[in-house]
Structure formats: C-alpha cells, structure tokens
Structure 1
C-alpha cells in the first residue's frame, strides 16, 4: 500500500516546532475565514526511496475520523516530471483530475475524507511533510485528540 519511511513531528525539535507554529497560524486563519472548527494539527516527515509509492486512498473515512483537512508540503529541489512521485488526485468517477509535482515549497491542501489520492512511483528519493488538521471529536470525558 505504501513505501515511505515516516518520522512524526514533535515540539522538542527546533525545525519541527517552527513548522508546527507555522501550521498553527494557518489553522487559526482557516478557522477565522472558513469557520471550520479545526482543533489541532499533526504531521510527519515522509521519505520515499526510489521505487516507492503510496496507492490510492483517503486520509479519513466518512464519519469515522476527526481528520478534516490534509496537507502536503514538498521539500524537493530541482524536481522534474520524469522523477515521478507526483501526487495524483482523483474525482468520484475515479479519474485523475490533478497531478502535482513534488516541488520544493509547494503546499497542497484538500479535504481528508472526500479526496482520493495517491503518490505515483518516485524514481529518485522524495521528501515531504504530510499533515492533518483535526476537529475535536471528544465524547464525555474522552478527549480526542488527546492534549
């Protein structure tokens, strides 16, 4: 299904903390402008070796997750289309409606439970930060996501 290696971000690392702070500002702006009720953000660094991919999937299943918006931030300098590793985005008819080259500085944001997507086979090492803005799905005394 997937062939990437991941590392979850924490506030303890300076670079990771800076990225999390940037996404916190983005979360607040989204809530102010779009009234999404986003509660927090989680993310991980993803490294795809040459030959790796991630088959078509959703980041959340309808009504079963608190993930609302998915983000992918690319860290690849000098990426060419021939390098593969594109993010392929599908519509409800199973047609590719967008193909995004994983070029340095590109940020992609989409609805987690509504947008099927995949990572095409990468022909060289590919790096990104994949993340999810979540809503508070707390019930009773159970905090979800945990603080």
Structure 2
C-alpha cells in the first residue's frame, strides 16, 4: 500500500502461493468468450484492439476461486484502511491469451466516469520465458513508458485504474491471468488522482 500511495502502482512476486496457482490453473474453464471493449450499450468485440478471451469469476464457485476471492477481500480491506479509497466490491475474470493474442493500450477507467478504482492482475503461468512474450507494458499518466512486466506465476500487479494506461504485448505461448477491479459504489466519488 505504501507503493500505491507513493507512485500509484506496485508489483508483488509470489503473492499467490504455488498451491493456489495450481488450484487456479485447475479451475481454468473449458468455455471462454471473446473479450470486448466498452461497457453496457457501448460493449463490442474488436480484434484490432484486443484478442484475448475471458471467463468471469463467480463467487459461488468454491475451491481455489473462493480462496482467491477471499485474498482479494483482505486486500480490499487493507486498501481501504491504508488509502481510504472507499472500495466497495471486486469483479474479476480469468483471461486467456493464445499465441498471437494481445490487448492494445488502454485505461481500465476514464477520469470521473467509472467506478473502477484499483486494478489487479495475478498471473498463473509456470515457467514463463522471455521468448513467450505477453508482457504487460505499463505507462505513466503522461503516457511515458514505465515498465514491462512478465506474466510469471504468482505475481500480482496492482495500480490505480484511471492513472495508468497499459497494454498486453502479443503472446507467443498460451498465457493465463486473473484481471480484476476494486470498485466504489456508484460514480459519485470522482477521480482518484495519481501520486505526483
């Protein structure tokens, strides 16, 4: 939480213990849907922008998914206690990138127009190599390059949703993650400004 307060993003290796990574790998679904862009009436699929597939996590699933969601609940409580963000709930999905899949540069929330406040990405890829591609590329609020992050198993990336444009570079091996968003209750709280 100190890193979020100071710079707006952080990376935590081994956030997910190996047995939970394995359990989540075993929980990966058989059925996927094409990921889209936009919300509600503006939702559409656009393979020029993103080609990944998703499967929303259900709270009733149990097992490793329930354990993961319990960890996210503890993270939500910690973020509210330390950063006073007013986070109300959490939504997340499994994401699958097949070889050649990517997601172009985007923000997870638009200033003052979304209830998403804090983005999480947890990776499930054992033995990921540089040649496998699929890096998360993170940019600052001024669109300047910040970091390339490899999708290694157990790693958590956490950042303010409005403040950091990002993209997933083309994968060259199948790549799995859980993308999630801590949300506030409605759109009334306005913009969360990034640290300066």
Q: Same fold (TM over 0.5)?
A: yes
Length-normalised TM-score, structure 1:
0.90
Aligned residue pair count: 139
Q: Structure 2-normalised TM-score? A: 0.68
- Structure 2 counterpart of 1:78: 127
> Normalized per residue, which structure has more helix?
2
Pairing 1:65-104 to 2, within 5 Å after superposition: 65-104=114-153
Higher strand share: 1
Cα distance, 1:93 vs. partner? 4.1
Residue in structure 2 matched with residue 44 of structure 1 by the alignment: 93
Mapped partners of 2:66, 2:153: distance in 1: 19
CA distance in 1, matches of 2:169, 2:145: 12
What are the residue-to-residue correspondences of 1:10-49 with 2, within 5 Å? 10-14=58-62, 15-49=64-98
Question: 1:135: Cα distance to partner?
Answer: 0.6
Q: What is the CA–CA distance in structure 2 between the aligned matches of 1:98 and 1:20, rounded to whole Å?
A: 27
Q: Report the alpha carbon displacement of residue 94 of structure 1 after superposing the two structures with TM.
A: 3.0
Answering whether residue 151 of structure 2 is matched by residue 106 of structure 1, we say: no
Distance 2:78 2:163 in 1: 22
Cα displacement string for residues 98-134 of structure 1 (whole angstroms, at most 9, x for unaligned residues): 0000000100000111100000000000000000000
Mark the CA change 1:125 to 1:62 in structure 2 (over 3 Å): closer, same or farther. same
> Structure 2: any 5+ residue segments left out of the alignment?
1-48, 189-196
Q: Is the 8 A contact 2:112 2:187 kept in 1?
A: no
The answer to whether residue 175 in structure 2 is matched with residue 126 in structure 1 is: yes
Query: What is the alpha-carbon root mean square deviation over aligned residues?
Result: 1.3
- Structure 2 residue 48 is matched with structure 1 residue 8: no
Name the CA distance, whole Å, in 2 between partners of 1:62 and 1:103: 30
Segments of structure 1 that go 5 or more residues without pairing to the other structure are 140-147
Shift of 1:35: 1.0
